[in-house]
Amino acid sequence: MTTVLLVLGLLLGLYALLYYNCIRGAKCRAQSSLRGKTVVITGGNTGIGKMTALDLAQRKARVILACRSRARGEAAVYDIRRESGNNEVLFMSLDLASLDSVRAFAETFLRSEPRLDILINNAGIGAGGRKEDGFNLVFQVNHLGHFLLTHLLLERLKLSVPSRVVIVASSAHRSGKIDFENLQKPVEGILQNFQAYCNSKLANILYARELANKLEGTDVTCYAVHPGFVNTELFRYIPIWLWLFFVPISWLFFRDPTDGAQTSIYCATQEGIEMFSGRYFVDCRVQDPRPPARDDAVAKKLWEVSERMVGLTMPYPAPQCVRLMMWVLLVLSTLISLTSSPVSYQTLLIAFSIIVSVKTQ
């Protein structure tokens, strides 16, 4: 019996050393007050997002939890208000799986909130199928929805400078790849969904890189972060049988959400990191991601493709559209020369107006 107790004690001691030295990760030491500042956190009702929201609420920020579930969002608001003593914690409905919901959220926010100091793109899923917009659900929630959300809120961020965008990425980007032909296609199966997750995390880092380039000189900065391996609801959609393996591993060897939130909190609050805008942070330190996540040409193309996918630009590059419309105009001109009809002249005028508007976009 004594031997068994000694062995158990040794194992517990080794586990404690492993957890506090290898698993737990760095802690954000910034003491910045956020009084008077407004923060939006997607997926702030659970896991890393909720712990991030709690910390920022304790710093006296006005915190808006942008979540899909009203019941869970309002429950998180209650918890955070109670623990932080800050009543300026609010719920706003946002479903990143619906681009219409993203637009509706942005419209509601811009109508009700005069400033936005920190946007934390935290929400994410590890598996899914296809939703109403027809895209790969993992890629839409993890990248496209946040891409559109940030675009719609960008002017408010610029009006509240210095302001920040924090994008929760992952070391899973190491296994990601950007295949522009298949980005939006829904997938099925565990391995295919995991690959879609890795692809979306690579997209997160590339997006932060290109966003920083476009925001240069505006005093709006952005950062991609790896929270570590965290025991959250990220893979809640995996098959039941896989939980028998996954749950004990995650419980023993993954960080808890408080530890997982530290790098997000650091990038939201730490002073003096503006020079690292667009960079990737791990354990509250700058780290170089894998080479595919540092490819500026791919980052730029991903931006352009994402704009078209969420409807911010035309489905074809503008010069191609102009050439197409010029051909249409040529055909109309030929018809006019044959008919000399006043209606045809009116049609020509409308077509000319469309071409001019396309050229100026």
Beta-strand pair 163-168/220-226: parallel
Q: E strands along the chain, which residues?
A: 38-42, 62-67, 89-93, 118-121, 163-168, 220-226, 280-282, 285-287
Cβ within 8 Å of residue 222, ≥6 positions away: 164, 165, 166, 167, 208, 211, 212, 215, 277, 278
Q: State the Cα–Cα distance between residues 139 and 124, nearest whole angstrom.
A: 9
Contact by Cβ (8 Å): 293, 226: no
For 107, the token pair is 């419209």
Q: State the Cα–Cα distance between residues 336 and 226, nearest whole angstrom.
A: 62
**Residue for token pair 């899909």:** 68
* Amino acid at residue number 93: S
Nearest Cα residue to 314 out of 361, 356, 262, 250: 361
For 355, the token pair is 């071409």
Contact by Cβ (8 Å): 63, 88: yes
Cβ within 8 Å of residue 43, ≥6 positions away: 49, 66, 67, 122, 123, 124
Q: State the Cα–Cα distance between residues 142 and 169, nearest whole angstrom.
A: 9
In the DSSP assignment, the letter for residue 162 is: S
In the DSSP assignment, the letter for residue 57 is: H
Cβ within 8 Å of residue 265, ≥6 positions away: 28, 30, 52, 55, 56
For 320, the token pair is 């191609």
Which one from 78, 197, 207, 345 is the annotated catalytic residue? 197
Would residue 237 show up in a list of annotated catalytic residues for this protein? no
In the DSSP assignment, the letter for residue 177 is: -
Catalytic annotation, residues = 197
